[in-house]
Amino acid sequence: MLDMKLEVFIGAMKSVLHGDASRIALHEPNFNGREWEYVKQCIDTGWVSSVGSFVDRFERDLAEFTGAKYAVAVVNGTAALHVCLKLVGVEQGDEVLVPTLTFIATANAVSYCGATPHFVDSETSTLGLDPVKLESYLEQIADVRADGCYNRISGRRIKAVVPMHTFGHPVDLDPLVELCGRFKIELIEDAAESLGSYYKGRHTGNLGRVSALSFNGNKIITTGGGGAILTNDQALCKLAKHLTTTAKVPHKWSFSHDMVGYNYRLPNINAALGCAQLERMPDFLRTKRALAQAYQDAFSGIEGARIQSEPEHSTSNYWLNALLLDRSLAHLRDDFLAATNDAGTMTRPAWTLMHQLKIFDNCPRMHDLGIAEDIERRLVNLPSSAKLGEALV
Amino acid sequence: MLDMKLEVFIGAMKSVLHGDASRIALHEPNFNGREWEYVKQCIDTGWVSSVGSFVDRFERDLAEFTGAKYAVAVVNGTAALHVCLKLVGVEQGDEVLVPTLTFIATANAVSYCGATPHFVDSETSTLGLDPVKLESYLEQIADVRADGCYNRISGRRIKAVVPMHTFGHPVDLDPLVELCGRFKIELIEDAAESLGSYYKGRHTGNLGRVSALSFNGNKIITTGGGGAILTNDQALCKLAKHLTTTAKVPHKWSFSHDMVGYNYRLPNINAALGCAQLERMPDFLRTKRALAQAYQDAFSGIEGARIQSEPEHSTSNYWLNALLLDRSLAHLRDDFLAATNDAGTMTRPAWTLMHQLKIFDNCPRMHDLGIAEDIERRLVNLPSSAKLGEALV
């Protein structure tokens, strides 16, 4: 028999979800726009691959939407992160600060560079990296030299920090920008989850020197698989384009390459999907905001749990709604997950924290990662597809 | 004024090319099958990304077509090569033997592993790796120990060899298999260009422990961007699937990962394209073979150049036809390229040889790479799209 409190929580969630509650995805794509039309153009013209106009258009549209000067479309968000790290000069043997509460791509991309992820804690208001805690941590362990920031304990250079905007909620970026300047650390925003999220009126991805977006199937817009690099620096945009297209030296016919590059270019057919999806963003943001509000309302009178709301100064895309159980009820998390998933309503916990994965056992980390641990123990993501909010607007 | 010989060569090429000779691609996709139907199914159901039935079907269809027991679809051929190297255990500090005459992906994939490409020569009959020359080279430099093959000069382990089936022509695999067994070197076939090519009746990609395919836009079939890993080893197939899907540990809702994996899974919408394209392979192989025959015929009476034909014991897919000028006429190569490309007929030279790229300056190589250098100086690829052969069957 279900705990009574659990029944109340599930009831509140269900009151928001219209339609067939026995098959509700966590976040599914919505293709009611010009997706067919654009994809068919690719197939009819034969331009599905590395040549074709939708890649250029998608990059222009993304730049316009985000306010970043430049966007470079790539094959997925992981590839975007990998190239971002390369762009700011992360090298073999460096350390890169990443939140322990993140999807594994953030940490994996660091490993691909031969660098070591160094795990830091989150704050409750954003679920993302805590700049205040990071500041006092760096004051303890960092040694700022002419050529960069060094970890006094490991002796390695700390080259970059990669805050991730968790579930679409922007990290508090201003103090982080200040911190990075002072400690000579490069700022990369992992904006994989935050397309359509704004920090103090500016779209996320504009404060990092470079930033990464994702258009995986579960994201607010999808290209099948896809991602992008954002930057306001023309030289970095050029280098990003070069690195993601095998570093081929431009020539009418000959094949020569001047760097070890990557085959990370987004195919045109996937970019076509992206162009159509991006046209729908205002709708998606509106319905997703309505859904978030409905969750807030449904849980507002209920003791023992709350819905995470956008941080002060920020407008969130509410990519994934997050229910936070009270600490005293954290033991109900797995029962909630089991009961809802067994009934066909997809919910999920936060990712296993990076510092708790065996593969990162030897990576440096803050002594105290208590906030992330606390969040992870009692958080559940609720179904958040844009279409679930359609009846609410 | 064009050299008279050059005019004869261009005339022979043109005699084969029907249609508007002012806009002829080197190799373009052909979508006259069920491409639209399958892609539309993805968009209508919303299954465009990492979930969906076309990925499973494409993998089954590829296994059936190639005769390999298992196929794992990935995001492109470079990703396939990278994972193949990981699968056979290539590690940081190893050396991997690769032909100097290849597309840069073969060598780049080695670099991604932190290993060093070691360049070897080609033979004239296949354009690919020369197993006889490799044998005498290994007898000079290799030291076979209990735990593998070591390069006596560099001290590094030689873990694998990656023959590439150039333009679809299969490398002479039998002696290579024997050699690999004797020297304890893993065999990976770079079959990016050879889908539909057979070595002694067996589809390429079956003799290596693992092999890589590519479905880039210029290949015999395309998925926009895509690739696959082939293997006859169930354990390696399982590991390939795991490594290419972020090494996530299967669980209904929780996110845990037990290796540093990759986000290399092929999106479902691209796999849908692949399923439709694979249905067309018999047609493509027939028309491409007719085109190759027409080039052979057109150049058969002409002194000073010849069309590369499939090696003995092999059936080639004739992915790209190759014109080989006589050594005495190698100086005409660039004039041929300029004249044809300026007139709108795309032709191209072989890739700049890997050992001639500055980025690989410090990589080991055979002293004598004379055959590859000779081929590179006088080879030109001619337009080879399947549709160019349609009028000829």
pLDDT tens-digit series, residues A148-165: 999 999 999 999 999 999
Contact A43 B30 (CB under 8 A): no
SS3 annotation, chain A: CCCHHHHHHHHHHHHHCCCCCCCECCCCCCCCCCHHHHHHHHHHHCCCCCCCHHHHHHHHHHHHHHCCCEEEEECCHHHHHHHHHHHCCCCCCCEEEEECCCCHHHHHHHHHCCCEEEEECECCCCCCECHHHHHHHHHHHEEEECCEEEECCCCCEEEEECCECHHHCCCCHHHHHHHHHHHCCEEEEECCCCCCCEECCEECCCCCCEEEEECCCCCCCCCCCCEEEEECCHHHHHHHHHHHECCECCCCCCCCECCCCCECECCHHHHHHHHHHHHCHHHHHHHHHHHHHHHHHHHHCCCCEEECCCCCCEECCCCCEEEEECHHHHHHHHHHHHHHHHCCECCEECCCCHHHCHHHCCCCECCCCHHHHHHHHHEEEECCCHHHHHHHC
- pTM greater than 0.95: yes
How much of chain B, in percent, has pLDDT values that exceed 70?
A: 98
What mean pLDDT is predicted for residues B282-287?
98
| A67-71, A347-351, B186-190, B387-391: least confident range | B387-391
pLDDT tens across A214-273, in order? 999 999 999 999 999 999 999 999 999 999 999 999 998 889 999 999 999 999 999 999
How much of chain A, in percent, has pLDDT values that exceed 90?
A: 94
Best residue in A28, A102, A253, A264 to probe B by mutation, most B CBs within 10 Å?
A: A253
Strand order of the β-sheet with B198-199 is B202-203, B198-199, B314-315
* Lookup: tokens for B20: 């508007």
Report the SS3 class of residue B230.
strand
Measure CB to CB from residue A351 to each of B216, B255, B266 and give the nearest one.
B255
Centroid of chain to Cα B337 = 23
Chain B: nearest CA to A255, how far in angstroms? 5
The nearest alpha carbon in chain B to A44 belongs to B31
DSSP 8-state secondary structure symbol assigned to residue B146: T
- pLDDT value of residue B336: 97
- pLDDT value of residue B52: 73
Taking all residues of chain A, what is their mean pLDDT, rounded to a whole number? 96
**pLDDT at residue A292 greater than cutoff 70:** yes
Beta-bridge mates of residue B119? B98, B365
Chain A: nearest CA to B102, how far in angstroms? 11
**pLDDT at residue B280 greater than cutoff 80:** yes
Contact A217 B341 (CB under 8 A): no
Best residue in B257, B262, B353 to probe A by mutation, most A CBs within 10 Å?
A: B257
For residue A105, give every residue at least 6 positions away whose Cβ sits within 8 Å of its Cβ, in sequence order, or none. A77, A78, A81, A192, B246, B263
| A9-23, A174-188, B194-208: least confident range | A9-23
Q: Cα separations (Å) of A48 from A143, B25, B44, B252?
A: 50, 15, 19, 35
Contact A262 B108 (CB under 8 A): yes
Q: Between A and B, how many CB-CB pairs are < 8 A?
A: 182
* Lookup: tokens for B333: 């190569």
pLDDT tens across B211-262, in order? 999 999 999 999 999 999 999 999 999 999 999 999 999 998 899 999 999 9
pLDDT tens across A6-52, in order? 999 999 999 999 766 678 999 999 999 999 999 999 999 888 776 67
pLDDT tens across B62-73, in order? 999 999 999 999
Please report which confidence band the pLDDT of residue B37 belongs to, taking 50, 70 and 90 as the band edges. very high
Please report which confidence band the pLDDT of residue B49 belongs to, taking 50, 70 and 90 as the band edges. confident
The nearest alpha carbon in chain B to A76 belongs to B263
Taking all residues of chain B, what is their mean pLDDT, rounded to a whole number? 96
Measure CB to CB from residue B36 to each of A40, A268, A270 and give the nearest one.
A40
What mean pLDDT is predicted for residues A333-347?
96
Contact B262 A49 (CB under 8 A): no
pLDDT tens across B143-155, in order? 999 999 999 999 9
What mean pLDDT is predicted for residues A273-294?
98
- pLDDT value of residue B20: 63
CB A228 within 8 A of CB A72: yes
Chain A residues near residue B28 by CB distance under 8 angstroms: 46
| A34-43, A321-330, B1-10: least confident range | B1-10
Contact A51 B256 (CB under 8 A): no
- pLDDT value of residue A339: 96
What is the predicted ipTM? Answer: 0.95
pLDDT tens across B344-393, in order? 999 999 999 999 999 999 999 999 999 999 999 999 999 999 999 998 98
Where residue A188 falls (left for φ over 0; alpha for ψ -120 to 50; beta otherwise) is beta
- pLDDT value of residue B21: 64
What mean pLDDT is predicted for residues B10-27?
87
Domains of chain A listed by start with CATH number: 4-28+281-392 (3.90.1150.10), 35-279 (3.40.640.10)
Chain B: nearest CA to A294, how far in angstroms? 24
